[in-house]
Structure 1
Amino acid sequence: MHILVMGAGVVGVTTAWYLRKAGHDVTVVDRQALAGVETSYANGGQISVSHAEPWANPSAPLKVLKWLARPDAPLLFKPRLDPYQWRWALAFLKECTTARSAHNIRQMVNLGTYSRSCLQAVRKDAGIEYDHLEKGILHFYTNPAEFEAALEPARIMRELGCDRQVIDRNRAVELEPALAPVRDRIAGGTYTPEDESGDARRFTQNLAARCAEAGVEFRYGTEVLGFDHARDRILGVNILKDGHHETLRADSYVLSLGSFSAILARKLGIFLNIYPAKGYSITVPVKDEAAAFKVSLTDDEYKLVFSRLGDRIRVAGTAELNGYSRELNPTRCRAIVRRSAEIMPDAARWDEAEFWTGLRPATPSNVPYIGKSHYGNLFLNTGHGTLGWTHSCGSAAAITDIICGRRPEVDFAFSGL
């Protein structure tokens, strides 16, 4: 079967890998000149099953209200005359109950645990390097209330098989000595030893090269405009490349265009409640090896993640719900640098930070769309929010099973099933 994958980010490329391994002919289309140069370009770098507490939780509405007037807030909602933004926001509020939050944690932990094992298999099978570290992820809290609020989600995750251990400040510094400068400010932490970190862009581009070697066709510089369709079938994808219009035809199609999936799906009458959450990151050179961390870190109060990528440090986080603009906000950039330097002043050359922003495809629940659509030969693998890197391999394995008529191995509420 010939399958066309729309999107060459980490989700699209892993999908192509699994589909090709299953014996299908695969074509990948993407408007960029290379794989992994939009949302996968400079993300937080964590394979974080432990980062499964959704943004929509019982404490979120009050926090969002408090943050409305703060331009450097971890989650910034900037109201627009956009019905899709408000529809997303109302659905977000409905997901903030205790019951819905627990349900969504289950979905994300199950998918994350499965995906992490899939990633390890892909890494071995493809033989690729991407500055990966297998030293776990340590969440630390400098606000006692935030630490207390994390205990129940951590308990739920442990029940679901995610070994998220609750630790005190001394154990946190023992695991990661780079936190010593703020030891007295740490209220507590959690540690998940099986979580990993790595460079998502390097992973995506190296895996794309392996895909191409295996026979996957990549059509870069190709913008998807719409579809030819009849009744319940997609007949082709209308594209624009080098100023020329063309229709690409295949037997089946996979939509993995991140935040832009929602815009394209609406042309088919499919509503995907995905809205772009603009995230920021900085990449800086290591200054002092002794002061730089090795264990990947999460600063939960400020919603920042820290990953070590060889001789570089990546700090990423915050979310801005403000449409599709990718313009850098200097205030939010400075806030990341300021907090990072405060936590680990000698770890990096913070004044040499390289700034980046990308649009993460967020659903109100943080649970992605994976599965069948209303069209018999159109499949969804999109809406992964901040966990696209974490969930990519598991999502790809699952959508391949669905396309092949098999039931996926992971317990997850698949779209259309």
Structure 2
Amino acid sequence: MKISVIGSGYVGTTIAACFADLGHEVVNIDVDADVVETINTGETPIHEEGLPDLLEKHAGDDGTGRLRATTEYDALLETDVTFLCLPTPQYDDGSIDLSIVETGAEQLGETLQRKSDWHTVVVKSTVVPGTTDEVLTPVIESASGRTAGEGLGVGMNPEFLREGTAVADFLDPDKIVLGADDDRARRDMRAVFAPLEEQADAPVVETDTRTAEMIKYANNAFLAAKVSLINDIGNICKEFGIDAYEVADAIGLDDRISDQFLRSGVGWGGSCFPKDVAAIIAAAEANGYEPPVLEAAVELNDRQPERLLELLDAHVDVDGERVAVLGLAFKPGTDDTRNSRAIEVIEGLEARGARVVGYDPVATENMRARFPDIDYAESAAAALEDAVGAVVVTGWDEFAALDDEFAAMKTPVVVDGRRIVEPTSEITYEGLTW
């Protein structure tokens, strides 16, 4: 099929490349000319494992030609299905800002005025239940002069892509959720995903748009709550001198629990869990219900960075001293620092008067934009030199190999928020929840 993807962020660029790899002809539409040029040269605008290979294979002069990028919305006129992959930022109250995706939907609708054939629009952006049929569909209808179900199909296809493994998650999904309120839109969506369904043998969930929207939020809210729960259990284990990971290994053998998301530590961050949990809480409260479990999950998650720093306080006074923060991205495998636990850790160290030096294999420049005045090291070893303490915030594999590097510290105190460093007799080691 011929597919257009509006938006070239983590989701848009990834699905565009993956759709091309499945054999579709894809055009990626974005307002950022620099991003468009980057994709057309076969290079990636984001750090994502596997994505450079797909873009080199399908975009650029030496690619298959199945993927190209442009700033022109008119390009969607030659396609059958358009995916809306635009950001929905978070307001201070947790609700989502729909202005960007509404603007994109309006421009999409205005462009469709110049097309006579049927066109299906699939919302890929994460939006609260009711947004597709109550907000975005009317915008597209008004701008295009069409009616949904009559010349225009509208569907909802939530994404379940984890940064760092987004390509693998797309090509080998746990499930494919297709939400639509008319049969033709559903058929078009099924045709788009047919090659993936055949290749991955993934279960397909067909439902309405509102339920599809809720599945995305329920999925992330459940996982976030599971992380907060194991962190709560880990905090209790810490008080009793028990290894929380040994406990987690045992309870993970119960197939009702499973061993996934049982790695206790400094908490969850990123662009999805914080925003999605806050958004569904705000949406629920707007409808008169306060979700106590999700509110508690957020509260506990917000406390974990301070617990990490309190363990450091128990060993050293950091006022005026150098402290290494190892890991700045919100998780390994990505350069994304949005809602990284390192942000709260750095702020807490600065409040204590520490001289902070940060290190991350790929995320330094992104964190520098937020904290331009702290020091940044070129390696973990350089960050540790002359530091009175080190806190591990991101579980990069290279931190597991650290050993002799700790000898260069002024006082070898290591507080590990991800259980990645090997404890030895040469360092004073504290795990966050063990």
Q: TM-score range by the shorter chain?
A: under 0.3
1 or 2, which has the higher strand percentage? 1
- Using structure 2 for the length normalisation, give the TM-score: 0.25
Which of the two has greater helix per residue? 2
Q: Which has the larger radius of gyration?
A: 2
Superposition TM-score, scaled by structure 1 size: 0.26
